[in-house]
Every structure is written in C-alpha cells, then in structure tokens.
Amino acid sequence: MGDYHFVYKDVEGTSTEWDDLQRKFGNLPPKPAPFKPPAWAPDDEDSKQKDKDWIDRKNEEELEDLEDDLDDDRFLEEYRKKRLEELKMGARIPRFGSVIPIVGADFVREVSQAPPDVWVVVFLYKEGITECGLLLRCLEELAERYPFTKFVKIISTDCIPNYPDRNLPTVLVYNNGAVKATYVGLHHFGSQRCTAEGVALKLCQSDPVLRNSENESDSSRQAVMEGVRKQFIQRVVSQHEDDDSDESSD
C-alpha cells in the first residue's frame, strides 16, 4: 500500500503565533497581504444609458446584434429598426452625384479603368471660356440627377497636350475602357441655348449613358429618354408661366 502525504493548508492570510514571533525578530519575511479581489465595476456598455443617442452611436452590425436585447423596451426597439433601415439606405447612396475634378495622372484610374457597368462622361474645358461655363452648368445638373453615371472634368491641355481651345468644350463618353462618343464644341448641345435636357438627349442618342438607378431596366436608354422629354416639357411650361406672370405684372 503506497504512502499518502497530506499537506494541511489553512485559510489564506492566517498564521501561527510562532510565525508572528519569527517575523518580529526578522527570521521570516513579512506576511504577504491577503488576496483581495478588485471591487466590482459595471461594464462600460452596461453602465451607459440606453437611449436614442446610444443607438445612434451603433453601426449596422451592432444594431443587428441588438435584435433580441431590446424586447423589453418597445420604443428603443422601434427606434433601433428605424435607425438600422436608415443605415442600410445610406449604404445604397449613389456612388457619384457631382462633376468630379481630375488631373491627367488620374485619367487612367478614374476613366479608363472604371468598372464595366459605369458610363463615364469626361468634360474637357478651360476656365474663362463662356461656352465651357454654359455646358458645365448643364453637366452639374445631370450629374446630380443621374448619380449612377460618372461625370468628371479635366483641363483640356492636362488631358491632351496642346489641345486647341477652339475645340472647347469637348465631351468624351467612355464605357468599359473605350471611347463610345465624342462631342467637340457646344453646337452639339444647342450652342448658347443648351439645356440639361438637351445635353441628356444628345448623350443618350445611341447608348444608355445616363443612369439614375442600379437597375438596368430603370436606366435603359428608352426609359431615360422618356424621363428627359417629360423634364423638358415641364421646363418649357414653367418658363411660359413665368413669362406670362411677368407680362401681367407689367
């Protein structure tokens, strides 16, 4: 039968009178302080007040994780759902929406290497040329109206060295790395009387260049052309109403 050795261990922090006496004379090291667990403190997340501001600080993934945690608070649960939907809608915000200024070094990345599903309208211009300013205003309106089409502007000689000013403004249309259309001069868009609708009709003459949706059927050439025609009629009617109003006031 084997030997069994038992080691008696007293409650931590206790000592005998003999040990205390030995410590008094310096024969034993000081008695170690008894272990004391740190005071409990609430988790930062638990201690925060759960209100609208607390939910507003959450990202989409965190709000998804809270799905079963707010069942006891109907108001916060409803607000969580509303905020989650807002974030999801925000993730679907159109990728463009303005005329983006670029320089020559950006051209390949921003234009030639744009994704195959993106149509790129390139505006070549120079400051101080009246015709360029007229066309730029139309393109800015279209860029906001059709945010899934990429509009960029670049100083003409930065894009093409020695490009003649007499050719300005010039519009190049790119898709899948290739030039699909070239418009040299403002006369393509109605000269001094150019409008956003007229520019849109020209750009969509042969291809579905303008897109206001990720859905291809919504951005088909026919759908865009129909929308542009309606906007053109609305603009003409509005201008006539303004003219009639001015005449009556005289």
Strand partners, 174: 120, 179
pTM: 0.57
Tell me the pLDDT tens digit for each residue of 96-114: 889 999 999 999 999 999 9
Tell me the pLDDT tens digit for each residue of 113-150: 998 889 999 999 999 999 999 999 999 999 998 998 99
Cβ atoms within 10 Å, residue 119: 23
| Axis crossing angle, helix 196-203 with helix 221-249, rounded to the nearest 10 | 160
Closest CA to 146 of 228, 235, 213, 204: 213
Tell me the pLDDT tens digit for each residue of 193-210: 999 988 998 998 888 898
| Residue 134 confidence (pLDDT) | 96
